[in-house]
Amino acid sequence: MSKVLSKVFISLSHNQTANKMAKKYGLKFGAARFVAGNNIENAVKCVRELNQNGMVAMLNYLGEFVSSEDEAEKAADNCVKTLDAIHQSGIDSNLSVKISSLGLDISKEVCLRNLRRILDKAREYGNFVRIEMEDYSHCQLTLDIYKELRKEYDNIGTVLQAYLYRTEKDIQDLNSYNANLRLVKGAYNEPADVAFPKKSDVDKNYENIIKTHLLNGNYAGIATHDGEMVDKILRFVDENKIPKSQFEFQMLYGIRNDLQTQLAKKGYKVRVYIPYGVDWFGYFMRRLAERPENVAFVLKNAFK
């Protein structure tokens, strides 16, 4: 049943009609649990509260379904404004960007132009930008863009997904770039010819790529809410004398607040991914696809 629900939510995440309806009716039906409001003021407030509790953040201005250069430029404007707000407010947060919102599907040139503007502003402020990974059809192009920009900028990182067969090879390929990587299991519905169909295989590969990346001496953002996986990684870094300065745990806003707090109290760096903005529907559907048990929470809020 959970697999069926996951496929339904992934399908909805790509539905532009549903996305337009969501924009019209706002953050209802439980989405506010995972999205920090429509504006940067709300997002800054959330980050400040996290900072006060010993955690840092990664802000993302939500955006999808960009179909024109003008829309892509406006998305880039909002990313720059987010960096301005981080700097002006003094909060501890970096920036995460979805490059399909910056014109990736229009042309590589449009996307690069917008990304360079964002990266220049981040460098001016001494901040960091992470390029998000999207579905498999965007994977190679995303990595190509990352490699090109990594030659120009040292304040850039990207994401690799453990459910893809290719990721183990990508980890080794990116080693020469001293890549700062956010390592995730993956949240898209990919076919069996490119991705592991079984969760146990994804988990095994996830653990493997984390260990490989750390042993290569590179920085890892370990993005998981799985307490058992966290314990495995903590044992591994202790056994291999990997310093705390080489990794951080990353979790999503609204999920496993208890684990976030526990790790922060033990002195580990915890970074919480905080999305905000009116274009929240696709992100929300993917969170439900990852954790269908959240549907009960949504249904409960829908009738309040």
165/44 Cα distance (integer angstroms): 37
Q: Residue 301's pLDDT is what?
A: 41
Count other Cβ atoms within 10 Å, centred on residue 199.
11
- DSSP one-letter string for 64-93: ----SHHHHHHHHHHHHHHHHHHHHHT--E
- For 53, 79, 218, 227, 260, the CA distances from 230, given in Å and listed in that order, are 20, 31, 18, 5, 11
| Tokens standing for residue 167 | 């990721």
118/77 Cα distance (integer angstroms): 8
Q: Residue 66's pLDDT is what?
A: 82
Weakly modelled stretches of the chain, pLDDT under 70: 1-33, 64-65, 279-304
Q: Residue 8's pLDDT is what?
A: 45
Q: Residue 286's pLDDT is what?
A: 64
| Tokens standing for residue 10 | 């992934």
Q: Residue 29's pLDDT is what?
A: 53
Are 194 and 215 in contact by the 8 Å Cβ rule? The answer is no
What is the per-residue pLDDT across 271-301, written as a single tens digit (0 to 9) for each? Answer: 999 999 876 666 666 666 665 555 554 444 4
Return the H-helix or E-strand segment holding 177.
Answer: none
What is the per-residue pLDDT across 120-142, written as a single tens digit (0 to 9) for each? Answer: 999 999 999 999 999 999 999 99
Q: Residue 6's pLDDT is what?
A: 52
| Tokens standing for residue 256 | 């496993």
| Tokens standing for residue 222 | 């370990």
